[in-house]
């Protein structure tokens, strides 16, 4: 089984609360799973948020995590969307040298800011595209790079 096959993506709808993130991440930590990323944002339902968890686990292990998460009072719904038809986007923001900007813009980056310390650009896309973009940034000596985890939604159609 390859490393990629052990990455599971869980979409979790939760009730908003001051300790919800702590409870969810603590449950996963106590089970010994490596969390690659957690993205959290408001959902369409008032008082609820959508969490996207990317964990290093096999199918059976991810099913165990899903069942444990469903026991938390704050958790409304858990879906393992690994391998499903989803829209998935990640974001990278990077500070680069001014002479790198034109090539990055041609790849789809947007300029956010230009200053004496460099130019800040953003790029959003599928995880592989974001990874390729970061590899290009590193090869060209990016000053600073920040990457989000994925945000996913099932495709409708």
List the CATH number of the domain containing 142.
3.30.70.1150
Alpha helices in 72-116 (DSSP H): 101-106
d(C-alpha 118, C-alpha 100), whole Å: 10
Total domains present in the chain: 2
d(CA 76, CA 139): 43
Confidence of residue 145 (pLDDT cuts 50, 70, 90): very high
- Give the burial class of 116: count Cβ atoms within 10 A of its Cβ; 0-12 exposed, 13-18 middle, 19 or more buried: exposed
State whether 18 and 49 are in the same domain: yes
pLDDT at 112 over 90: yes
Question: Within this chain, do residues 122 and 59 fall inside the same structural domain, yes or no?
Answer: no
The reply to whether 95 and 120 lie within a common domain is: yes
Q: pTM (2 decimals)?
A: 0.79
CB 66 within 8 A of CB 80: yes
Domain boundary among 27, 56, 80: 80
- What is the per-residue pLDDT across 128-139, written as a single tens digit (0 to 9) for each? 999 999 998 888
- 36, 61: one domain: yes
Task: Pull the structure tokens for residue 7.
Answer: 């990455």
pLDDT at residue 2 is higher than 60: no
What residues make up the domain containing 27? 4-80
* End residue of a domain, out of 38, 64, 80: 80
Q: Which of 80, 107, 123 is the last residue of a domain?
A: 80
Q: Does 140 lie in the same domain as 92?
A: yes
């Amino acid at each position: 089984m390859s490393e990629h096959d052990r990455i599971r993506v869980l979409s979790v709808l939760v009730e908003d609360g001051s300790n919800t993130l702590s409870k969810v991440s603590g449950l996963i930590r106590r089970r010994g799973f490596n969390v690659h990323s957690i993205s959290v944002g408001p959902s369409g339902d008032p008082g609820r948020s959508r969490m996207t968890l990317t964990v290093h686990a096999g199918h059976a292990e991810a099913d165990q995590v899903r069942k444990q998460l469903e026991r938390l009072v704050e958790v409304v719904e858990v879906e393992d969307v690994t391998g499903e038809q989803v829209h998935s986007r990640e974001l990278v923001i990077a500070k680069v040298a001014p002479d790198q900007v034109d090539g990055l813009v041609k790849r789809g980056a947007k300029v956010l800011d230009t200053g004496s310390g460099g130019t800040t650009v953003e790029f959003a896309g599928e995880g592989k595209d974001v990874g390729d973009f970061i590899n290009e940034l590193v090869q060209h000596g990016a000053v600073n790079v920040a990457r989000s985890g994925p945000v996913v939604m099932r495709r409708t159609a």
